[in-house]
């Protein structure tokens, strides 16, 4: 494609608040859907490169952690008597995954994808610096973290914020990502879920940066990236 198309793609991609669907991008650029799909994912990969090796928190800092489940949609049966409670493990298809996020207040956001929240404890320990005060909800998955960090817990069944204890930063990230999934993409494949999560974290962290600087930032990240980790040889089915 002409260089102008790549620059236009970055500008269009950054101009969206919650994400840009590949179909809409293909129409804007006048290219095939698959071309736009791969290009959008390469931009997500460039955004993710900013998070590589990053840690959050430190002495005197507060980091919020939480998990949100995505994917694995099962279409409900037509008749009510045939429907099943899809929250139960026996009625799920095994494709549902959890995005776990650690977010420093007034700082950066780092996501990762796991099968369950309890599987994320090693990730949290490696990405949150020692001496950090951690805030989490009442889920039992986070109990073991109390042996590694000073923690505050908030029971969301009782309140969203209680005497200064809240995890609204993490919830804000999930709100943005959920609206991207439902409003723009409609479906997010499990193997690409981490890239969508990394895109949402980049957008959340740069939400107060003007569009011009966002475009320049993504251009710089894209130019610094080596050949794609996920998409090299995709057109040749490699």
Alpha-carbon gap, residue 73 to 189, rounded angstroms: 10
Residue 127, helix vs strand vs coil: helix
pLDDT tens, position by position, for the chain (238 residues)?
Answer: 899 999 999 999 999 999 999 999 999 999 999 999 999 999 999 999 999 999 999 999 999 999 999 987 778 889 988 888 877 777 777 788 999 999 999 999 999 999 999 999 999 999 999 999 999 999 999 999 999 999 999 998 888 898 889 999 999 999 999 999 988 998 888 889 999 999 999 999 999 999 999 999 999 999 999 988 888 877 666 5
Which run of H or of E encompasses 8? helix 3-15
Burial class (CB within 10 angstroms; exposed 0-12, middle 13-18, buried 19+) of 173: buried
- DSSP labels for 183-232? IIIS---GGGHHHHHHHHHHHHHTTTS-HHHHHHHHHHHHHH--S-TTTT
Q: CA 183, CA 12: separation in Å to the nearest integer?
A: 17
Q: How many CB atoms lie within 10 A of CB 172?
A: 15
Domains and CATH numbers, the chain: 1-49+208-238 (no CATH), 62-175 (3.30.420)
How many residues belong to the chain?
238
Strands 133-137 and 62-70: parallel
Q: How far is CA 175 from the centre of its chain?
A: 10
* Closest CA relative to residue 112, chosen from 122, 125, 99, 93: 99
Where are the extended beta strands (E) located within the chain?
Answer: 62-70, 97-104, 109-114, 133-137, 150-154, 161-162, 165-166
The Cα–Cα gap between 98 and 119 comes to: 10
The SS3 assignment for 140 reads helix
Residue 5 burial by Cβ neighbours in a 10 Å radius (0-12, 13-18, 19+): middle
Distances (CA, A) of 33 to 24, 27, 37: 9, 8, 6
What is the spatial distance between Cα 128 and Cα 110, in angstroms, rounded to a whole number?
A: 10
Q: What is the pLDDT, as a whole number, of residue 197? A: 96
Q: What is the pLDDT of residues 12-56, one digit of tens each?
A: 999 999 999 999 999 999 999 999 999 999 999 999 999 999 999
């Amino acid at each position: 494609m002409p260089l102008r198309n790549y620059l236009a793609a970055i500008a269009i991609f950054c101009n969206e608040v919650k994400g840009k669907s590949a179909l809409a991008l293909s129409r804007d650029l006048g290219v095939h859907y698959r071309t736009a799909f791969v290009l959008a994912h390469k931009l997500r990969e460039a955004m993710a490169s900013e998070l590589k090796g990053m840690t959050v928190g430190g002495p005197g800092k507060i980091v919020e952690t939480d998990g949100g489940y995505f994917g694995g949609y099962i279409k409900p049966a037509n008749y009510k008597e045939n429907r099943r409670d899809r929250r139960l493990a026996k009625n799920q298809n095994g494709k549902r995954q959890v995005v776990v996020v650690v977010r420093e207040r007034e700082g950066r956001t780092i996501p990762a994808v796991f099968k369950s929240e309890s599987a994320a404890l090693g990730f949290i320990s490696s990405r949150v610096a020692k001496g950090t005060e951690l805030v989490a909800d009442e889920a039992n998955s986070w109990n073991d973290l109390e042996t590694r960090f000073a923690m505050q817990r908030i029971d969301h069944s009782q309140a969203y914020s209680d005497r200064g204890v809240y995890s609204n930063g993490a919830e804000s990230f999930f709100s943005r990502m959920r609206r991207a999934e439902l409003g723009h993409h409609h479906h997010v494949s499990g193997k690409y879920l981490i890239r969508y999560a990394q895109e949402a974290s980049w957008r959340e962290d740069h939400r107060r940066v003007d569009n011009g600087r966002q475009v320049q930032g993504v251009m710089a990240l894209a130019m610094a990236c080596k050949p794609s980790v996920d998409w090299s040889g995709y057109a040749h089915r490699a």
